[in-house]
Each structure stands twice: as structure tokens, then as C-alpha cells.
Structure 1
């Protein structure tokens, strides 16, 4: 039978796939589904809770308050002229975006196994939706930070924005891509080794303490120079330090550190795409 001129090929079936075989034009065709996934992630997280979306605000505020009491009041960690609560809130808000992207993306295959096994769509849509939905949550937390910033500013606190703030979106992109890449690697491993899911939560907590979230980067180099390498090799430490420099004009902005972060991020993202591409073909047999 001859194929009519109106027939079009939707998919090509081949025996081999490339190392990275993502059809980005296909992703664009499924953009409506991407937005539905984003809506699902934002709306359903706290759907049947008493406080609902208020948890987006409560979590960073209580964490920043706890850090202020423990690290600044008890441990006497200095934050310069910046109010400790504002210092910690900036670090926590930035860290939460990366952490949420990493943790949610790492659960991609397990949490979506049901729909993945029944309906075809580009699997990359799921982790991408996580990065976008968490960007919305990050925006909400950033508004809370701005509110407290204005309050402290009107009270005469020595805080000021920095001209480098125009590059803040670069930091957001780096955080999102780093969380996406690392999350895809872990998600692919979790399909075979379930224990990694529990180990991840512990690992993220340890990573936070080496990311300069609750202390200035210079303080680690001054007080614990032997262990400073733990922070200096952590790409998130440079992102958080740069974010506080842009938002509060405190700390330092290391161009070399940001370049290092970009190189690490793109390397991990590439590895994540390769592993994700390989795992999505057979994960349903092991998940």
C-alpha cells in the first residue's frame, strides 16, 4: 500500500539511541503538559493541610529564626553590619531553591512510575516541571525576604543592594541546572538502589553545612583553614556567597568561584542527561 501525501511520520523507531537523544522540538510540542505538571507541583503539595500555601512562607522564616538563635546568639557567629536574621534568610531562601530542585528531581522515576508506564510523553518534562515550580516557590520566598529587607532598612540597618544584582538571574539558572543535573543522576540510581533515597536526605543536610548558608565564607577560612576545602570545592557555597553579596553587599563575589560553579554545573548536567536518557528506557522493570 502506498503512503498518501497527507500521511506524516510521528515517531522514528530505531535499534540504537544516541548518547543524548532528547527531541527538544517534541518538548516544545508538549509545553501544555509541562505547565500542567508545574501547576500540579505548586497546588497539590499542601492541598489538604491546614495552613496550605502558607507553608511556603513559614518554613524559611522559622529556619532563619532557628539559625539566628543557634549560630548567631549562642555560637556568636558574626555577620558584620547585616542583621543576622536577614543574613540567614537570604542564605536559606537561596539554598531552599537548590535543595527542593534536587530532592524532587531525584524522585522523578519512582513518583511518576504509574503515569510513565501508561502514557507516552517526553520524560524530561517531569524534572523540568520541578525546576520551574520550585522557581515559583523561590519567588514567593524572595518576596518575603524583600519585605524584611525593607523593614530593616527603614529601621536604619546598614544594608544596601549591590550593582551586581543584575546578574542575580545567572545564579538562579546555575542553581536550577545544578539541582536538575544532580537530581537526574540520583533519580536514575534510585530506580535500582532504593536506599539512596533515604541517604539523600542525610546528604543534603551535610551539604547545607558546607555551603556557607549560615556563616560567611571568609569565616570558615579564618577559623577552620584545615577544613576550608570542604566549602571551597562546593559550588553552592560560591552561589550563596554571591547571592548575599548582591542582595546585602556583604561577603565577596568570586568570579573564579562562579566560573568554577558553572563548569561543575554543566558537567553534572551533561552526565545527568546521559544517565537519564539511558535509564528512562528500562526503569519500569526495576522501579
Structure 2
């Protein structure tokens, strides 16, 4: 008597699935377990961002150094020599270099993450993986660029200390990883919000570069906070400068490494809280958009 063989579909139904892809039930879903499972893909994106960005350039990673050096030199001439802006007793080139080292990390992360959906629409439409891996990879890969620029800043700081034109760093430099984490969360949050909005409103992608430049002048990169505080104090608005979440971060960095800067405990707590809130809001908007962005992008 012939034995009846079950169809392959029936046999597969009884087999346990290794993974199950389903829509998120919660908007604010950040599945660390799933991200860890795709860690190889995360490292692949990080490697892609590092290798391919300067692959066909002549100077390669030297651009990491050229950018802050030329920018700081131009700012030294314009803002210090021409505009006569002081820098709390620190040589202005070193002062500007400190601000630019931090600013380039934030700006690069923000500009790259704000274009996530648009620049990766072909990949997102073909294969599933946690979409948040892409903006995360940007913040990680930019750490290499920051590391090179920060090492150059340390070398310049050591030179000015040797010449007696800069004080020794304070012990608060140990909090640098926390400052970087705050800026990473802030840039991720802002970037994910803008990226989600550009799926419908493409005009925002043209405003990002312009907006980042304006934001730099609202942040104490090329001028000390004390200068703004002194201008606003007669009107009773000196605390407005701390509404910018980056203000306390930059001032604490300059205080730690250069011994100059104005910051308060409230400002640091405010910056940390603001960064976390913006990141959670960006994650919420990002998770909501990724469900149907392929229909609108």
C-alpha cells in the first residue's frame, strides 16, 4: 500500500521559525536584541561609511585634518584679527580648534542621518533589517573622524602648553565620552526627525545645510559664552544662551581642556535631558515613518 506523503508546505508549518518579521506594535520600539542580531550589518555599514567616503580622493583621511585646520585659521583671521573677538585668554586658534573639533562631529552626524530614508530607499525597499541601524552606523563611523581631529587638537594643545600659552587640562576631561554620547543622541534625534519629514517634504533636505550653518553661530564655537552673557545681562536675558542644548556641552569641553568656559549644573542637566528627549521623539517619528515611507519617498 502506497504511503501518503505530506506536501512540503504542511511539513514547513510544523517547523519552528528562526525569525519572525512583524510590524511594530509600539511606536517607541527600540529592540536592542534585534539590533545585536544584526550587529554584523551594523559594522558593515560603518566600514562602508569609512572606506568609500574617501576611497577615490587623493588626500584620503588627511581631509579629516585639513577641514578643522583651515576652518580654524579662517576664523582666527576674521573673528579675532578683524572682528576683535576675545577668547577668554586662550589663543584664538586653539580656542576655535576646540569648538570645531566638537562641532564637526555633531554637524556631520546630523547632516548624514537627516538623509537616511532618501539616500537608502533602494536598500530599504529590497530587504528587511532594523532601519535604525543606518543612522546608528553614521554616528559610530564619524567617531573615527572625530578621533583623528581630536588627536590633532591634543597635539596642538600640548604645543601651546609647552609654549606657556595654555593651561594644563582639568580632571573633568574624563567626562568626554558622556559629552560625545549627548551629541550623538542629539544629532540622531534631530536627524531622524528631519529624515522622516523629508519623505513627504523634500524642501527640508535643501534647508539642512543652511540650517546647520545658522545653528553653528547660535552655538559658542567661534565665540565664548561669556561674551553673549555680558551683552544680554543688562537686559536680564543672560540665561537665554543656555536654552541651546549644545552650549553647556561646548563650554564644559572648553573648560575641561582649556580651563576657560562658563557652564552651570542646571545647564549640563538640561543638555542631557534635552538630548534624551529629542532622541526618543526622533525614534518615535522614525519608527512611525519606516512603516510606510516606501510609498511616499
TM-score normalised to structure 1 length:
0.94
Corresponding residue number in structure 2 for 1:65: 73
Q: Is the 8 A contact 2:173 2:256 kept in 1?
A: yes
1:165 to 148, 166, 173: 173
Please give the secondary structure, in 2, of the residue aligned with 1:252.
coil
Q: Deviations over 1:197-222 (max 9, x none)?
A: 11111111111001110111011011
Aligned: 1:13 with 2:22: yes
Q: Indicate the RMSD between aligned Cα atoms, in angstroms.
A: 1.7
Q: Deviations over 1:25-47 (max 9, x none)?
A: 11101101101101111111122
Q: Is the 8 A contact 1:60 1:92 kept in 2?
A: yes
Q: Is the 8 A contact 2:229 2:241 kept in 1?
A: no
* Whole-angstrom distance in 2 between the partners of 1:81 and 1:99: 27
* Whole-angstrom distance in 1 between the partners of 2:141 and 2:21: 32
Question: Can you give the 5+ residue segments of structure 1 that lack an aligned partner in the other structure?
Answer: none
Q: Deviations over 1:172-229 (max 9, x none)?
A: 1000110001100000001111110111111111110011101110110113446756
Corresponding residue number in structure 2 for 1:38: 46
Which deviates the most, 89-98 or 49-58? 49-58
Deviation at 1:17, TM superposition (A): 2.0
* Whole-angstrom distance in 2 between the partners of 1:154 and 1:247: 15
Change (3 A) 1:283 1:5: closer
Query: Which aligned pairs between 1:146-157 and structure 2 lie closer than 5 A?
Result: 146-157=154-165
Q: Which has the larger radius of gyration?
A: 2
Change (3 A) 1:149 1:196: same
TM-score normalised to structure 2 length:
0.91
Corresponding residue number in structure 2 for 1:145: 153
Aligned residues: 286
Q: Is the 8 A contact 2:114 2:191 kept in 1?
A: yes
* Whole-angstrom distance in 2 between the partners of 1:56 and 1:251: 26
Deviation at 1:12, TM superposition (A): 5.0
Corresponding residue number in structure 2 for 1:174: 182
Corresponding residue number in structure 2 for 1:270: 280
Q: Is the 8 A contact 2:102 2:250 kept in 1?
A: yes
